[in-house]
A and B are shown apart, each in its own frame.
Chain A
Amino acid sequence: MNILVAGIGKVGMTLVRQLSAEGHDLTVIDYSSGVLENCVEDYDVMAIEGNCATMETLEEAGVENADLLLAMTNADEVNLLCCMTAHHMNSKLHTIARIRDPEYTQQAYTMRGAFALSMVVNPDRSAAREINRLIKYPGFLKRDTFAKGLAEIVELKVDEKSALKDLSLFQLNSTVKAQILVCTVLREGNAIIPSGDFSLRQGDRVFVTGSAKDLAVMLRNLGIITHKARRVLIAGGGRISYYLAKTLLEQGTAVQIIERDEKRCHNLAEALPDASIIHGDVSNQYILNREGLEGCDSFVTATGVDETNIVMSLYAAKKNVPQIITKLGRAENMEIINELSVGSLVCPKELCAASVVRYVRAMKNQVGAAVTMHTIADGQAEALEFVVDENTRHCNEQLKNIKLKDNVLLAGITHKGRTIIPRGDSYFVPGDSLVVVESGQGTVLRLNDIFES
């Protein structure tokens, strides 16, 4: 597909990485030649220098022949203007704009026709949602939903006290007393798709799938109780904090936000009357202690500086805060950061890129294209949901007779509203939806790609 990416910031670059890996024709637009230079050196894309909201630049970038425009600059207004202009020049064009300012969010949605928007992405709001989900279900690091909420993939960390430590996968189901499946294990930075005799070790991050019910049973039997957080302390008063605080307050959770900028504090206090907004430097341990870091249920570090977030989280870990969530703007050093006890990591740009990639895949509209896609294990593996149709090979055949490619695992079959963990005698029929996990290089684009040819 012919895709224009306007604005090569953190989100833009992530999108270029993922979409070029999927083989799309990408043209990137930015006003900084330095950024473009880097982009062209790393990826097989064409670069156009200029203002992406002008007709001249868009024409040069070939908007007439493009299928999709991703407006990802850091200015909401430019993104909107860019989409409107481009759509004026090519009425068949799909457009996705990044809108970050909470003040525009509602109107961007209401006026999406006038703005010619096919979709709006908001990295901050996606991050806030993800953090909220983590606060609601502590004990595992990440949770992705498939098949309209019937199947899920959750991430667990095997620590010293975990019952999973030194457990082989054969014994797993009897230990946790639930039908679950380990689809990927991230060990020392490598994603492994394990077989039955694989044994878990301390430090592994395990991605487990199963029906929502079975996963709940598993969590209970592992001693991970889903309880309600009563008080959440948020460091940094940016947009993510705003969205998060709003949702948390609606759920009846007490929220404290520490923000350095006084003016921003006033704005937040106006917008969030029920939250307690504290003006102070988050890196000041005295303020954190005074605001009751030790007694809070969850501590979220969401300042704009990754380094500050990491250090704050490490401090909170030392103070034995039950749940710590760290926001990271850049995801380059995940391998090192995962070694640290900084709790769960949330990366807005990855979340945002994942939703755009999902849209692109759906747009491709090919037979058997993935319905939803989640990147797991720090981007080293992907969980994809497909709907089985008449063109799918091996329908009605027992799984033990089907040969799947290496690095591919069938993690769930949802048949008529019931999700099962596939066994040797399971089979699928048209209309079912399948969850597939693959740790290859993005080679599974259609459902039939998972079968050994």
Chain B
Amino acid sequence: MNFKIVGRINGEILLLEAIFMIPPLLISIFDGTAGVTRAFLESMAIIIFTGVALMTFTKDAKKKFYAREGLVCVGLAWIVMSVLGCLPFYFSGEIPGYVNCLFEIVSGFTTTGASIVPNVELLSRAILYWRSFSHWVGGMGVLVFLLALVPTDSKGKGGFSVHLLRAESPGPSVGKIVPKMRQTAMILYLMYIGLTVLDFIFLIAGGMPVFDSVCTAFGTAGTGGFGIKADSFTSYSPYLQNVTTVFMILFGVNFTCYYLLLVRQFKAVFTDEEIRLYFGIIVVSITLIAFNIRHMYGTVEETVRTAAFQVASIITTTGFATADFDKWPVFSKTIILALMIVGACAGSTGGGLKCSRVLLLIKGLRRNIHSVLHPQRVQVVRINKRTVSETILSNTNAYLSAYMSIIIICVLIISLDGFSVEANISAVLCTFNNIGPGLAEVGPASNFLAYGILSKVVLIFCMLLGRLEIFPILVLFSGSTWKKMG
């Protein structure tokens, strides 16, 4: 285990985080909220000090870097980033209690959007900005950002960057889109920035105030879901709701597809099985829910718009809401719950199990059923007409079992707090899948404040486990990770 290089990268991440805090600092100075300005300055001082200290101690770091270092590095970076990133909330006193602050920032970075703030309209603008911006950085990943920024020197850094990208990016198999890692990271971020700006322009055009547009665009792009209004999205105009619906769905698409569109490989995108499954699920869910809730809303337009917004919000794991779906019929609620698990496409900013994994699981299952009927039959699983390796299939199965066992354990722990089964299961599901609001006591109209400290810590880990796809966090708790080898 090469601790020094891990420390060094963590130091670099912290310096980056301090830079990210400059815009909210300026906002707080502009607004004249002295307490918040001081909170940001103090936080930045601590972050810079820690970052510089880490980098000084690890100056002589060796380049040795394997998958293990990649996983540990990403897992640690996200924890360190959160532990220090929540300091502005804590120092400003706008969110009481350190664990609550940590919950809020982890919810931000992991693009969950589950909040413990009873009324967000009471928060200052700088704090609101930092909350929403954490979604944006967390969406594409902060280490990917670092890869795009830091020039890789020519020798021996290849593995370094691949392991980081793999550990931070969601999906069963992560590859580059162009030969150079730095360019891959840059292309990803440029497309991400481009789409975010586009969303922002559409929102401004609909008459949304600039600050609201920025925060909403960040929340949509990262598929996060922190609102800046107490009623999330309900009071915005139908146009703004529709724009957001479309952009939520767009940010849930694998970013490689946008690159393929840019280089004019349209066929590859439109025949992609994951994309087809993703849009298929969206259309079917909207239709079923709209039919199921048709008596609750006045017009057909409002019914479809509301159903579409909620479906888009949940499947992309954003978590904005224009309706309290907790009050919907059970059938619709169950669909919502199922969408929580499915999640968005691999390689997008969304969370959940990912459509590609669902596809692999379905196809793998079908093969197993066939092999019961024809034991001697040799079968391969194909996706997009390409054979999927057995390693990927077994990894996907392993992922599902890890996913299920962790969810059961977490539900068990938080049920100590005595809330309803529905609330507990949906709380774990919507934090693990990085959605935000759940059902019953944690529905769109309420928040997570009522849970006890232990439950909050468990949910914080759920969010991190879900965003980083379990293994980067899990290896931190594995004894062999910390053993000295070589």
Task: Check B13 for interface membership: any CB of A closer than 8 A.
Answer: no
Task: Check A271 for interface membership: any CB of B closer than 8 A.
Answer: no
**A441 touches which one: B154, B159, B175, B183 (CB < 8 A)?**
B154
Are B158 and A43 neighbours in the complex by a CB distance under 8 Å? Answer: yes
Known contacts A25-B178, A27-B179, A46-B175; A40 and B154 CB within 8 A of each other:
no
Task: Check B194 for interface membership: any CB of A closer than 8 A.
Answer: no
Q: Name which residue of chain B comes closest to A38, CB basis.
A: B159
Task: Check B59 for interface membership: any CB of A closer than 8 A.
Answer: no
The interface size of chain A toward B, counting residues with CB under 8 Å, comes to 19
Q: Which of B147-196 contact A (CB under 8 A)?
A: 152, 154-159, 161-163, 175-176, 178-183
Which chain B residues lie closer than 8 Å to A274 at the CB level?
Answer: none
Are B156 and A42 neighbours in the complex by a CB distance under 8 Å? Answer: yes
User: How far is A291 from B389 in the complex, measured between Cα atoms in Å?
Assistant: 53
Which chain A residues lie closer than 8 Å to B178 at the CB level?
Answer: 25, 46
Which chain A residues lie closer than 8 Å to B162 at the CB level?
Answer: 40-41, 44
Known contacts A33-B389, A40-B162; A26 and B156 CB within 8 A of each other:
no
Task: Check A251 for interface membership: any CB of B closer than 8 A.
Answer: no
| B-contact 0/1 string along A19-53, CB 8 Å cutoff | 01111011100000100000011111111000000
Determine chain B's interface SS by DSSP, over half rule: loop
Report the minimal beta-carbon distance from B257 to chain A, rounded to whole angstroms. Answer: 16
Known contacts A27-B179, A46-B176, A46-B178; A40 and B389 CB within 8 A of each other:
no
Report the minimal beta-carbon distance from B186 to chain A, rounded to whole angstroms. Answer: 13
Are A20 and B66 neighbours in the complex by a CB distance under 8 Å? Answer: no
Which chain A residues lie closer than 8 Å to B180 at the CB level?
Answer: 25, 44
Report the minimal beta-carbon distance from B380 to chain A, rounded to whole angstroms. Answer: 14
Are A441 and B155 neighbours in the complex by a CB distance under 8 Å? Answer: yes
Which chain B residues lie closer than 8 Å to A417 at the CB level?
Answer: none
Are B179 and A21 neighbours in the complex by a CB distance under 8 Å? Answer: no
Task: Check A442 for interface membership: any CB of B closer than 8 A.
Answer: yes
Q: Which of B76-120 contact A (CB under 8 A)?
A: none
Are B159 and A42 neighbours in the complex by a CB distance under 8 Å? Answer: yes
Interface centre among B157, B180, B183 (most CB of A within 10 A): B180
Q: Which of A327-349 contact B (CB under 8 A)?
A: none
Q: A-contacting residues of B (Cβ < 8 Å)?
A: 66-67, 152, 154-159, 161-163, 175-176, 178-183, 389
Which chain A residues lie closer than 8 Å to B163 at the CB level?
Answer: 41
Q: Name which residue of chain B comes closest to A443, CB basis.
A: B154
Q: Which 9 A-B pairs have the closest CB atoms?
A: A44-B158, A43-B158, A41-B159, A46-B179, A25-B179, A21-B154, A46-B176, A44-B181, A27-B179
**A23 touches which one: B66, B154, B158 (CB < 8 A)?**
B154
Which chain B residues lie closer than 8 Å to A22 at the CB level?
Answer: 154
Which chain A residues lie closer than 8 Å to B389 at the CB level?
Answer: 33
User: How far is A22 from B180 in the complex, measured between Cα atoms in Å?
Assistant: 13
Report the minimal beta-carbon distance from A40 to chain B, rounded to whole angstroms. Answer: 6
Report the minimal beta-carbon distance from B100 to chain A, rounded to whole angstroms. Answer: 41
Report the minimal beta-carbon distance from A414 to chain B, rounded to whole angstroms. Answer: 30
Given A21-B155, A44-B162, A47-B175, 15 extra CB contacts under 8 A:
A2-B179, A20-B154, A20-B158, A25-B180, A33-B389, A41-B66, A41-B67, A41-B159, A42-B156, A43-B158, A44-B157, A44-B180, A44-B182, A45-B158, A46-B178
Which chain B residues lie closer than 8 Å to A27 at the CB level?
Answer: 179
**B179 touches which one: A26, A41, A442 (CB < 8 A)?**
A26
Which chain A residues lie closer than 8 Å to B155 at the CB level?
Answer: 21, 441
Report the minimal beta-carbon distance from A324 to chain B, rounded to whole angstroms. Answer: 33
User: How far is A21 from B154 in the complex, measured between Cα atoms in Å?
Assistant: 5
Can you list 25 A-B pairs, Cβ within 8 angstroms, ordered by A?
Answer: A2-B179, A20-B158, A21-B154, A25-B179, A25-B180, A25-B183, A27-B179, A40-B158, A40-B159, A41-B66, A41-B67, A41-B159, A41-B163, A42-B158, A42-B159, A43-B158, A44-B157, A44-B158, A44-B179, A44-B181, A44-B182, A46-B175, A46-B176, A46-B179, A441-B155
Which chain A residues lie closer than 8 Å to B182 at the CB level?
Answer: 44
Report the minimal beta-carbon distance from A292 to chain B, rounded to whole angstroms. Answer: 47
Known contacts A22-B154, A23-B154; A44 and B161 CB within 8 A of each other:
yes
Which chain A residues lie closer than 8 Å to B156 at the CB level?
Answer: 42
User: How far is A441 from B156 in the complex, measured between Cα atoms in Å?
Assistant: 12
Which chain B residues lie closer than 8 Å to A21 at the CB level?
Answer: 154-155
**A442 touches which one: B152, B154, B158, B183 (CB < 8 A)?**
B154
Interface centre among B154, B156, B181 (most CB of A within 10 A): B154
User: How far is A23 from B159 in the complex, measured between Cα atoms in Å?
Assistant: 15
Which chain A residues lie closer than 8 Å to B159 at the CB level?
Answer: 40-43
Report the minimal beta-carbon distance from A364 to chain B, rounded to whole angstroms. Answer: 15
Are A45 and B66 neighbours in the complex by a CB distance under 8 Å? Answer: no
User: How far is A136 from B162 in the complex, measured between Cα atoms in Å?
Assistant: 48
Which chain A residues lie closer than 8 Å to B157 at the CB level?
Answer: 44
Report the minimal beta-carbon distance from A396 to chain B, rounded to whole angstroms. Answer: 34
User: How far is A23 from B175 in the complex, measured between Cα atoms in Å?
Assistant: 20
User: How far is A25 from B155 in the complex, measured between Cα atoms in Å?
Assistant: 14
